[in-house]
Amino acid sequence: MSTSTYTVVGMTCGHCVMSVKEEVGEVPGVTGVEVDLDSGRMTVTSDGPLDGSRVRDAVEEAGYQLKG
């Protein structure tokens, strides 16, 4: 199992968090997504290494951006 941490920018409410979790959760290999609204911190667990561009694309699909 692998764990990656990202910072999501632009979320303002619980609905935002759910949108990000739903989109990132659909990335192949992702087994879990936790998002903290206050800090923007997103922890993604997967069954192996993830392609960061797929995670970024999923966050953008939800309407937000990754910091950095």
CATH number of the domain at 58, please.
Answer: 3.30.70.100
Half-sphere exposure of 16 (CA within 13 A, CB side): 17
List pLDDT tens digits, range 2-45: 999 999 999 999 999 999 999 999 999 999 999 999 999 999 99
Total structural domains within the chain: 1
Confidence of residue 61 (pLDDT cuts 50, 70, 90): very high
Closest Cα to residue 58, out of 34, 33, 23?
23
pLDDT value at residue 68: 75
Reduced to 3 states (helix: H, G, I; strand: E, B; else coil), residue 24 is: helix
pLDDT value at residue 7: 98
pTM for the model: 0.94
Q: Give me the domain span that covers residue 9.
A: 2-66
